[in-house]
Structure 1
């Protein structure tokens, strides 16, 4: 069953490696016996994603992406393996969707004359206030 990212982009199940592992933390006997956490591995470079999306994903400052270009997601918040699997796939989908559109280029702007005037007036007021703090001559 394919994993749909957007209308035009989907991933095959063979591209995502899911592994059931034991959860960490509190939970008593259930945590010790049941492998309910999911460890998801997604190799970005060898995936069927479009090249610009791959580049943006690899350049993103996400700590879950290894130096080899593998995205690792660990889902262990839910008690059942199915819900953790759905959570891991949802987070993978959201991570890829953030990189679908290129970032908007910043257009540098200049402050208006009124803004410059207001800034200079404020500087004068602050300077006058500080000059009043000096020594007083009699």
Structure 2
């Protein structure tokens, strides 16, 4: 059981690294035509970029399909990917972009730093020149800014 929990936690952590790399080198690279919709203002609830969740969803689904019978490591990797996807939806879509008005302003330094880092990422409208590509890891400089803006 401890091994399974370690696989889930390890996968969740690795997903932050994978998401950072895919965001920086794929979405701001060859798949910019899909991701660009996320960097442009719009009045509708969905954007073309939303299809990118399917990439991770398919991988998680395959892990569940092939790992369910024996409940082996693949099942627990699928669980880690799915938990990261749920965190992404909660943090990125609901908290940062306020797709549903569930969250108000926060005094939490980490959440403020996360929000500031994401706003800095979106400051650049084109595919080049952005910074802060992760979801949960925040560069220390954004914590300094968050503390000053209290």
Which band: TM-score by shorter chain?
A: under 0.3
Q: Report which of the two has the higher share of strand.
A: 1
The TM-score with structure 2 as length reference comes to: 0.22
Q: Report which of the two has the higher share of helix.
A: 2
Rg comparison, structure with higher value = 1
The TM-score with structure 1 as length reference comes to: 0.24
With a CA cutoff of 8 Å and minimum separation of 6, indicate the structure with the bigger relative contact order.
Answer: 2
